[in-house]
Structure 1
Amino acid sequence: MTKSTVPRRYLPSSPFNAPAAKPVEQFDTGDRVTHDLYGLGRVIGVEDEIAVLVDFGSHQQRITRPYPKLTKL
């Protein structure tokens, strides 16, 4: 018998070897960020880990947690 090189499938009902959740990124006022849809911006407000307000130059956008397309530069 040979070992298969295919990774094992994760079963949602299994408590073992569950994939670790990706940590939510923390943002502070003044951080430079990029968004997949809106482009480059600067964080101008943080709402207690619920949302961030970002100034993208032409407009401001409130982005809620878990900040799906927002990346800190």
Structure 2
Amino acid sequence: MTKPAAAKRHLPTSPFSAPVVPAPKHFAMGDQVTHDVYGLGRVIGIEDGTAALVDFGSTQRRIPSPYTKMTKL
């Protein structure tokens, strides 16, 4: 087995800019969202920042954090 690659650290003296880490997404009850797979929906439940329950009309799905395929409208 191979070890996973370690994250490269940024040296303060480097002439290159530090990589930008995107801020975590936060959703609230009633937010209208779009999902890459399921389409348009509305947030109907939040589980302490670990997942969001979204109603997509024909189905309800639990979307786990970090919500890579979901954006707020």
Shorter-normalised TM range: 0.7 to 0.9
Q: Structure 2 regions of 5+ residues with no counterpart?
A: 1-6, 12-16
What's the counterpart of residue 64 of structure 2? 64
Deviation at 1:24, TM superposition (A): 1.1
1:13 counterpart = 2:8:
yes
Q: How many residues are paired up?
A: 62
What's the counterpart of residue 46 of structure 2? 46
Deviation digits for residues 15-37 of structure 1 (CA, Å, limit 9, x no counterpart): 32431210111100000000011
Q: Distance in 2 between matches of 1:14 and 1:47?
A: 32
Q: Distance in 1 between matches of 2:29 and 2:72?
A: 12
Q: What do you get for the CA RMSD once the two structures are aligned?
A: 1.3
Deviation digits for residues 5-53 of structure 1 (CA, Å, limit 9, x no counterpart): xxxxxxx533324312101111000000000110000000000000000
Q: Which has the larger radius of gyration?
A: 1
State the percentage of identical aligned residues: 56
